[in-house]
Structure 1
Amino acid sequence: MYLLYPSDPFNKSAVDEEYAEEFAAVIKAGLAYSLFSFEDFESDRFRARPVLPAGVKVVYRGWMMTPESYARG
């Protein structure tokens, strides 16, 4: 399982504080993850850090999006 979390709006290398507890459990469990700026995504600039591996199924654990936003992702 590969997880995708939104980053803190002011620090793209840290998870959004609303997901901090869950994110700590993900790290402790050794699961793979990436962070991305939700604000950049909403401006049509998606960049996951680290880059999402090709061919993996990703579970998004973040803020709700419109159906159009999901289609863009």
Structure 2
Amino acid sequence: MGDLDEDEEDLRLRLHDLVTEHRDLDDAIEALLRDGFFNQLQVQRLKRKKLRIKDEISQLQSKLIPDIIA
């Protein structure tokens, strides 16, 4: 059972890191757009990375939420 607890803790830590990175990317994108002089390609790359992170966050959350038997 100890390994399962460690695996869950690892998932929770990874989830926390991803949420933080997602928030930081959001802030970076907002700052670039607010500046007015931004590279559209750079903004698109950051948005794509943000979407990949969002997908990974969703996957981790589904692993952490136990299946409910109806």
Interval containing the TM-score (normalised by the shorter chain):
under 0.3
Query: Of Structure 1 and Structure 2, which has the larger fraction of its residues in helix?
Result: 2
Query: Of Structure 1 and Structure 2, which has the larger fraction of its residues in strand?
Result: 1
Rg (Cα) greater in structure: 2
**Higher RCO (Cα < 8 Å, 6 or more apart):** 2
